[in-house]
Amino acid sequence: MHQLTIAEIIRGLRSKEFSSTELTRHLLGRIQQLDSNYNSFITVTEESALAQAAAADQRLANGEAPALCGVPIAHKDIICTNGVRTSCASKMLDNFIPPYDATVVDNLNAAGTVSLGKTNMDEFAMGSSNESSFYGPVKNPWNTRCVPGGSSGGSAAAVAAQLIPGATATDTGGSIRQPAALTNTTGLKPTYGRISRYGIVAYASSLDQAGPIARNAEDAAYLLSAMASHDPKDSTSLKQQPADFTAELNNPIAGLRIGVPREYFGEGLNPETASRVQEALRTFEKLGAQLVDISLPHTELAIPAYYVIAPAEASANLSRFDGVRYGYRCKEPKDLRDLYMRSRGEGFGEEVQRRILVGTYALSAGYYDAYYNKAQQARRLIKQDFVEAFEKVDVIMGPTTPSPAFELGAKSADPVAMYLEDIYTIATNLAGLPGMSVPCGLVDNMPVGLQITGNYLEEARMLNIAHQYQQVTDWHKASAV
């Protein structure tokens, strides 16, 4: 049963081939047996999962069940879950149990999903390798000596290891798409504001966006249909009607104009990765699409702009973790200053401290105009590149990552090298656009991802394009286990 996709689970539950309780017990058993190899879960919620599964089975028996009723999933541990620890993979929040659910959790609960627990991640979503977690690194199921990507590496690894068929994740600079690429899963970052951020612990508020990781585009469409909604509790939430993102999956894509940015195929791209992406583009041509050479001239500004803006917002958002109200508190502080300094120094890991310091510096008097203001100007130029490109093309495609997964520890001592892993994904967040990664091949038996970037609110079309590609290729069916 663990090999089933979400679409197959939906059909199997309705045809009574198995129950949600049977499926949930089976997957919980796999997590208990196998996850010590991957460290993809922080918390497993066996008791509540079985209760949710029993309730789903009752809804299915009554014939009143929504599409995802009874489907097991997991939530990234940055998403608040009522009564279940939400740690952000940090010592700072190791003991934090939220008294409420995030809107995305509410939505998926209403859809009848069964949550098996909370997945591991880079601490406070800051990282590209899932090595900064307080609970230890996540390991890539394709090669446990390698990273699964970050920060949503736990969600991606759990799906790749067939512990769950789908999971929630968040993406601030590529944290859904990059781990999806490195683990041979399908990950979608929607348009900024498509999914409510209420109840998702903030890293960089103008960039954060939740989305699904699953085995294929069809499954991602099912999850996105339940996750997306307007939320008055989130001032950045877009006003939108409920949508069924599975409705257009089977539309033909003949005549599609695919923009291929020349900046994405230059220095720094692994030649074998480039070859797999080019093969995928040729497959789209066979499906009737047209490749269009385009330029995104300000791509080189994405990394420096992001690593000023994101740390600046992080320094503000993480100021609330001070040892006073909740979270980690140092022992026997001498005074208030000592409480602040030692609680934050002991509670935050090295990468989080680095980004807080960078952000605080960029926002400080005398440096705001030189750094933060300039970064926002660069962000505007990057966004304008996309606006102009979408006047000529329907979607943009290229590699998701510069190379396949690297070995654990290979880049830990070089933060800049680690930051460059997100070179192709960051611009999408800076512009607020939707982006996704789909499997497109293997290099030395390690997965490679094709990135699809769409225009604003074009998720249905992107999922249609990805689904049509997956109808004529089998890369998404390749398994690590």
d(Cα 218, Cα 232) in Å, to the nearest integer?
29
Tell me the Ramachandran region of residue 84: left when phi exceeds 0, alpha when psi lies from -120 to 50, beta otherwise. Answer: beta
d(Cα 377, Cα 242) in Å, to the nearest integer?
34
Q: Please, how many CA atoms are within 13 Å of residue 418, restricted to the half-sphere of its CB?
A: 24
Burial class (CB in 10 A: 0-12, 13-18, 19+), 333: middle
Amino acid in position 422: D
Residue 303: how many other CB atoms lie within 10 Å:
17
3-state secondary structure 114-145: EEEEEECCCHHHCCCCCCCCCCCCCCECCECC
- Pair type for strands 41-44 and 114-119: antiparallel
What residues form DSSP beta bridges with 74?
Answer: 167
E strands, 333-457, in order: 395-399, 435-443, 446-454
Token reading at 469: 């590609």
N residues, the chain: 481
- Pair type for strands 257-261 and 290-294: parallel
- As annotated, the active-site residues are 76, 151, 175
In what helix (H) or strand (E) does residue 171 lie, and over which residues does it extend?
Answer: strand 166-171
Nearest 5°: CA angle at 383, between 393 and 281? 35
d(Cα 25, Cα 28) in Å, to the nearest integer?
5
E strands, 390-470, in order: 395-399, 435-443, 446-454
For residues 188, 415, 407, 203, the Cα torsion angle rounded to the nearest 10 degrees is -30
- Pair type for strands 114-119 and 166-171: unpaired
